[in-house]
Amino acid sequence: MEVQRLADGLWRWTSRHPTFEDQTLGTTVGSVYAETDDAVVLVDPLIPAEPDERRRFLRALDRDVDRLQRPVAILLTCEWHARSADELHERYATTDERPPDVMAHDVADDEVVFWLAPQRAVVAGDALLGVGGLRRCPDAWLAERGSPERLVTTLEQLVELEPQFALPSHGDPVVRDARTALVAALEGPPFGE
C-alpha cells in the first residue's frame, strides 16, 4: 500500500487488487479519501489485504472519521469498483447522498467521473488512465456503454473548472497542473492507440 497526501483533506492510496491483473495497468488500483463540509468521501475504496497494512489503514480511517464527526459517503465511479464498499458501509455511519460539493459527470451509461470542488480534483475510474501521462481510455471500452464523444465532452467541461489534481484509479495521479494534463488527454490519442 502506498498513501499520498495531496492537499488538506485529500489523500490517495493504492492497494493490490485481489482479482484485477493487467500486463500494462498492473495489479494496484487507486482509491481516494476527501473531506468535505458534509461528509468524509471515499471514492472506489479498496482496503489493503495484507493484515498489518489493513490494521494501520483502518485505524487511520477510524481516527479521521471520529475526528470529523461526519457521515461517510462511499462513491463509486462504476459498479465494478465496489471493492470494499460493503465492508465500509457496515463499519461506518454512511450516507446515500452525494455531498453537494461533489459533482458526478457521466462518461458512459454506467460510469461517472467525480469533481471534488473543495480540493479541485477530478477522480476517474476507468475513463482516464495514468499510464504514459494522463490518457483517455480506449474508445472500444465505451462502445457498448456510451460513446467516446460523451467522455470528450465531459473532459472539456472539467478542463473549464481548472482542476489541480487528476486521480485515476489505474496508473499515476496528476498532482500538479491537472488542467494541462486533461487538455493533453483530450488532444492525444486514447490509451493503446
Residue with grid cell 486521480, as numbered in its chain? 167
In degrees, rounded to 5, the angle at the alpha carbon of residue 118 between the alpha carbons of residues 56 and 39 is 55
For 111-168, what is each residue's pLDDT tens digit?
A: 999 999 999 999 999 999 999 899 999 999 888 888 899 999 999 999 999 999 999 9
In a domain, 161, yes or no: yes
Q: What is the CATH number of the domain that holds 96?
A: 3.60.15.10
- Do the domain assignments include residue 192? no
In this predicted structure, what is the pLDDT of residue 154?
95
Q: How many domains does the chain have?
A: 1
Q: Are 80 and 29 in contact (CB under 8 A)?
A: no
What is the per-residue pLDDT across 80-109, written as a single tens digit (0 to 9) for each? 889 999 999 999 999 989 999 999 999 999
**Does residue 111 fall inside a structural domain?**
yes
Least confident of 1-15, 141-155, 175-189: 141-155
Q: Is residue 193 part of a domain?
A: no
157 assigned to some structural domain: yes
Burial of 172: CB neighbours in 10 Å, binned 0-12, 13-18, 19+: middle
154 lies in a domain? yes
pLDDT band at 192 (very low <50, low <70, confident <90, very high): confident
Q: Is residue 90 part of a domain?
A: yes
Q: Is residue 177 part of a domain?
A: yes
pLDDT of residue 144: 80
> For the residues 1-7, what does the mean pLDDT come to?
94
How confident is the model at residue 22, as a pLDDT? Answer: 67
Domain that holds residue 97: 2-187
